[in-house]
Every structure is written in structure tokens, then in C-alpha cells.
């Protein structure tokens, strides 16, 4: 597994999502209340772009004529045939036991921590003012 710094956090604000290509893999990064989640941007059904899908919530029916809408913004619906995936886990809603989208660990790290390296050379003062999105692939 390797670490990739993909963008400043300001590129994917809370409630937004964006597609990145990391090591040749399309990865959709979602920001849910400033916690980042990564998902392979290729639907396990027939390859639709999940990043191009609608972000929605969970609709359940406890009884005929009743419904409960919850977890607003935590699911993405594939634009091709409507399969839905939990953004936090990649688990499908159509067949949770067998079908899931590949998930990736995504973190937001301070700019100061991502510019550190193992080698030391002559230094000059540098300030990093933004946080960055980091993906483990």
C-alpha cells in the first residue's frame, strides 16, 4: 500500500465528492461532514461511474404505506442502473451480502505532516497552510 497526496481539502468540501485517478485507478472521494471516504469509481455491476451518481439517503419501509428516510447523503446511486452503495463502507444496498464497491482509506492530514521526508538537507523555513486529502492505495 502506498500513500498518495491528491488534493487540498478545499477541493472536496463537506457534502461534495470528486473523482481522482490514483495509480491508474479511478477513485471517487466523498466528504461526509469532513470525514473522507474513497470508493473505486467503477460500479461492480457494469462499470458505471459512481462519482457521476446521485448522492442520496436510505429509504426503508417498515410496513406497507409507511416509509422512513434516514442517513441523508450517505449513499450513492449508480447513474446507469440505479444500484446504491453505502459511501462509508462500499456495501451495496441491492445485495449487501455479496456486492460491494472497493473502498479506500482516505484521511485529511495537515500540510506540515505530508511534506516531511526521511532525508535531511539544508532547510529554509516553509509554512504549509492548508490540509490535504491523502489516499492509501
In the complex, minimum distance from the CB of residue 4 to ligand FES, in angstroms, rounded to a whole number: 25
Q: What is the CA radius of gyration of the chain?
A: 18
- In the complex with ligand FES, which residue's Cβ is closer, 51 or 106? 51
- All three cell numbers of 15, joined, read 457534502
In the complex, minimum distance from the CB of residue 28 to ligand FES, in angstroms, rounded to a whole number: 13
Indicate whether 46 belongs to the interface with ligand FES (CB under 6 A). yes
In the complex, minimum distance from the CB of residue 44 to ligand FES, in angstroms, rounded to a whole number: 8
- Across-strand partners of 8? 132
Q: Which stretch binds ligand FES (CB under 6 A): 21-29, 43-51, 68-76, 118-126?
A: 43-51
Label residue 24 exposed, middle or buried (CB < 10 Å: 0-12, 13-18, 19+): exposed
HSE-CB for 36 with a 13 A CA cutoff: 27
Contact characters 60-99, ligand FES, x per CB under 6 A: ------------------x-xxxx----------------
Minimal CA–CA distance to 96: which of 86, 111, 110? Answer: 86
Q: Which residues would be at the binding site for ligand FES (CB under 6 A)?
A: 43, 45-48, 78, 80-83
Amino acid at each position: 500500500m502506498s500513500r498518495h497526496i491528491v488534493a487540498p481539502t478545499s477541493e472536496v468540501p463537506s457534502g461534495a465528492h470528486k473523482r481522482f485517478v490514483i495509480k491508474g485507478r479511478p477513485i471517487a472521494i466523498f466528504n461526509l461532514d469532513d470525514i473522507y471516504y474513497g470508493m473505486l469509481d467503477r460500479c461492480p455491476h457494469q462499470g458505471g461511474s459512481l462519482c457521476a451518481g446521485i448522492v442520496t439517503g436510505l429509504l426503508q419501509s417498515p410496513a406497507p404505506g409507511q416509509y422512513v428516510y434516514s442517513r441523508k447523503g450517505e449513499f450513492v446511486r449508480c447513474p446507469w442502473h440505479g444500484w446504491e452503495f453505502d459511501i462509508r463502507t462500499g456495501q451495496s444496498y441491492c445485495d449487501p451480502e455479496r456486492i460491494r464497491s472497493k473502498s479506500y482509506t482516505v484521511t485529511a492530514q495537515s500540510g506540515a505532516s505530508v511534506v516531511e521526508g526521511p532525508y535531511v538537507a539544508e532547510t529554509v523555513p516553509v509554512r504549509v497552510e492548508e490540509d490535504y486529502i491523502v489516499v492509501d492505495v
